[in-house]
Structure 1
Amino acid sequence: MTGTQAAEIAAIEDVVARLEHAQVNELPDEFVALFREDAIWTTGHGKRLTGRDEISAFTRKVLPGAMKDSTATYEVVDVVFVRPDVAAVKVHARLLTLDGQLIGNPGTPLYVMSKEDGRWMLVACQNTEVLGE
C-alpha cells in the first residue's frame, strides 16, 4: 500500500467514524451531510432510498429516539479502490446495548464512496444483516 492509499483509507475511515457518531448521537443533519446529493441507500430491511432528500426524510423519522437504549459501532474491514477517487468500502456494524451486549445480528454494509472536491462522500450504500454469525 502506498502512502497515498493509506491517507485515503484514513480519510474513508474518518467518514465511517462520523457516520457512527451521527447515528449514536442521533444527529440527522450530520448523518445526511455524508451522502452525495444523488446517493442511493438501501436500509438493512431492504427499503430503497434515492437522493439526499429521501435519505434525509427517512433519517429524520427513524433516527431521533432510535439510540436511547443502544449504541452502534462501525469498523472498516476492507477498501477496494475502483479508481483513485472511487472506493468500495466493506464495514462491520454492530448494534449494542448500552453495557456492550450485542443486539441481534451484526451488519455488513457496503458503501461505495467517491471523492468530491477533496472530500469522500457516500454514493451507494447497502446495509445487510449477517445471519447465523
Structure 2
Amino acid sequence: MNTTALDERTRETEIEAIKQVVAAVEHSQRNELPDAFADLFRPDAIWTTGHGRRLFGREEIAAFTRRVLPGAMKDVTPVYEVVHVLFIRPDVAAVKVRQRYLTLDGRPVGDEGSPLYVMSKEDGHWRLTACQNTQVLDS
C-alpha cells in the first residue's frame, strides 16, 4: 500500500473498525475470555504487559492470559477508550488507548493505563501486532 494519507471517509471507516477491535479487547477482559483476547493478535505479535513482561507470539500471549485473566475481573469492570489513531500507512496504525478499571458500582480503582497498540490490517481485519501496556502513575 502507498503511504499517502487516507481520504476522510476511509479514515473514519478504518478508525471505526479499529475501535471495534479495542471494544473486543475490553469485552474479552471484562468477561474473562482469554482465547477471545488472544485471537485479536497476529500470530507473531509482540505484547509487553503493564509490568514489563515481554510476550512473543499469540501462543505465548494466550498462555499468559489463561493464567492471569480468570478471576481478575470479579470485582472490577475494565473500560477502554481509543483516544488517538495515527496511521503510519493505510494498513498500519498506532492506537493510543485510555484504560480504566471501575468498581462494580462505577468508582475508579487504581491508576489508569495508557496502552499503545500498533495494529495492522490483515486480510481485511485489524489485528493487534505490537502492544505495550503502561500504567499511568498519579492519574
Q: Could you say which TM-score interval applies, normalised by the shorter chain?
A: over 0.9
> Following the alignment from structure 1 to structure 2, what is the Cα–Cα distance between the partners of residues 103 and 125?
23
Paired residue secondary structure (1:46): coil
> Following the alignment from structure 1 to structure 2, what is the Cα–Cα distance between the partners of residues 46 and 103?
21
Amino acid at match of 2:131: C
Paired residue secondary structure (2:136): coil
Amino acid at match of 2:45: A
Q: Which consecutive unaligned segments of at least 5 residues does structure 1 have?
A: none
Amino acid at match of 2:47: W
Deviation at 1:100, TM superposition (A): 0.9
Amino acid at match of 2:77: T
Corresponding position of 1:97: 103
Say if 2:131 is the partner of 1:125: yes
Corresponding position of 1:2: 8
Deviation at 1:21, TM superposition (A): 0.3
> Following the alignment from structure 2 to structure 1, what is the Cα–Cα distance between the partners of residues 77 and 16?
23
Corresponding position of 2:33: 27
1:53-105 Cα deviation digits (max 9, x unpaired): 10000000001111111110000000000000000000000011111111110
Deviation at 1:29, TM superposition (A): 1.3
Amino acid at match of 1:101: R
Which of 68, 76, 87 is matched with 1:70 structurally? 76
Q: Count residues in correspondence.
A: 133
> Following the alignment from structure 1 to structure 2, what is the Cα–Cα distance between the partners of residues 132 and 94?
13
With the length of structure 1 as denominator, give the TM-score of the two structures.
Answer: 0.98
Corresponding position of 1:53: 59
Which of 42, 46, 63 is matched with 1:40 structurally? 46
With the length of structure 2 as denominator, give the TM-score of the two structures.
Answer: 0.94
Q: Which consecutive unaligned segments of at least 5 residues does structure 2 have?
A: 1-6
1:14-53 Cα deviation digits (max 9, x unpaired): 0000110000001111100000000000001111100001
Paired residue secondary structure (1:64): coil
Deviation at 1:120, TM superposition (A): 0.0
